[in-house]
Structure 1
Amino acid sequence: MNKLKKKKQKPKWNLQRNWQLHALVLPAVIVALLFQYLPMAGLVMAFQDYEPWLGFLNSEWVGLEHFRTMFTYDDARQVIWNTFVISILKIIFQVLVPLTFALLLNEVYHMTYKRTVQTIVYLPHFLSWVILGGILLDMLSPETGIVNQMLVGLFGIEPIFFLGSNDWFRPVVIISDIWKDFGFNTIVFLAAITAVNPQLYEAAVIDGANRWKQTLRITIPAMLPIIIVVATLSLGNILNAGFDQIFNLYNPLVYETGDIIDTYVYRVGLLNGDFSYGTAVGLFKSLISLVLVVAGYRLAYKYADYRIF
Structure 2
Amino acid sequence: MAKKRNFRLGYDPATQIQLHLMMLPGTILIILFNIVPLFGLLLAFKNYKVTDGIAGIFTSPWYGFQNFKIIFANHDFGRMMVNTLGINLIGQLITIPLTIGLALMMNEIRNVKFRYAVQTVTYMPHFISWVVFGGIIMNLLSTDGAINAVMMKIGIIHSPITFMANPNYFWTITIVSNLVKEVGWGTILYTAAIAGVSQELYEAASLDGAGRFRKMWYITLPSIKGTIVIMLIFAVAGIMNNNFDQIYVLQNSFNIEKSEVIDTYIYRVGLQNLQFGMAAAINVFKSALALMLLLIANKVSNKLTDSGLF
> What TM-score does the superposition give when structure 2 sets the normalisation length?
0.87
| Structure 1 pair 18–71 and aligned structure 2 pair: CA distance change class (3 A) | same
- Give the distance between the partners of 1:184 and 1:307, measured in 2 at CA: 22
1:70: which partner in 2?
Answer: 71
User: What does 1:1-150 align with in structure 2 at a 5 Å threshold?
Assistant: 11-12=10-11, 14=13, 16-54=14-52, 55-143=56-144, 145-150=145-150
Question: Following TM superposition, by how much is the alpha carbon of 1:153 offset from its aligned partner in structure 2, in angstroms?
Answer: 2.2
1:5: which partner in 2?
Answer: none
- Give the distance between the partners of 1:133 and 1:56, measured in 2 at CA: 37
User: What does 1:1-309 align with in structure 2 at a 5 Å threshold?
Assistant: 11-12=10-11, 14=13, 16-54=14-52, 55-143=56-144, 145-157=145-157, 158-297=159-298, 303=305, 305=307, 307=309
1:112 counterpart SS class: helix
2:277 counterpart letter in structure 1: S
1:189 counterpart letter in structure 2: Y
Conserved in 1, the CA contact under 8 Å of 2:45 and 2:66? yes
Conserved in 1, the CA contact under 8 Å of 2:10 and 2:16? no
| Structure 1 pair 292–197 and aligned structure 2 pair: CA distance change class (3 A) | same
- Give the distance between the partners of 2:191 and 2:9, measured in 1 at CA: 41
Q: Which runs of 5+ in 1 are unaligned?
A: 1-8
Q: After superposition, give the CA deviation of every residue in 1:148-197 in whole Å (9 maximum; x if it has no partner).
A: 22122232513222222221111111111111111122232222223333
Q: After superposition, give the CA deviation of every residue in 1:271-296 in whole Å (9 maximum; x if it has no partner).
A: 12222212211211122123333445
| Structure 1 pair 24–301 and aligned structure 2 pair: CA distance change class (3 A) | farther
- Give the distance between the partners of 1:42 and 1:210, measured in 2 at CA: 57
| Structure 1 pair 204–123 and aligned structure 2 pair: CA distance change class (3 A) | same
- Give the distance between the partners of 2:208 and 2:51, measured in 1 at CA: 78
- Give the distance between the partners of 2:10 and 2:36, measured in 1 at CA: 34
| Structure 1 pair 11–110 and aligned structure 2 pair: CA distance change class (3 A) | closer
Conserved in 1, the CA contact under 8 Å of 2:165 and 2:255? yes
| Structure 1 pair 253–118 and aligned structure 2 pair: CA distance change class (3 A) | same
2:27 counterpart SS class: helix
Q: More displaced, 174-183 or 219-228?
A: 219-228
- Give the distance between the partners of 1:150 and 1:191, measured in 2 at CA: 39
Conserved in 1, the CA contact under 8 Å of 2:244 and 2:263? yes
| Structure 1 pair 13–300 and aligned structure 2 pair: CA distance change class (3 A) | farther
- Give the distance between the partners of 1:56 and 1:230, measured in 2 at CA: 36
- Give the distance between the partners of 2:22 and 2:58, measured in 1 at CA: 37
> What TM-score does the superposition give when structure 1 sets the normalisation length?
0.87
Conserved in 2, the CA contact under 8 Å of 1:232 and 1:299? no
- Give the distance between the partners of 2:113 and 2:256, measured in 1 at CA: 45
Sequence identity of aligned pairs in percent?
34
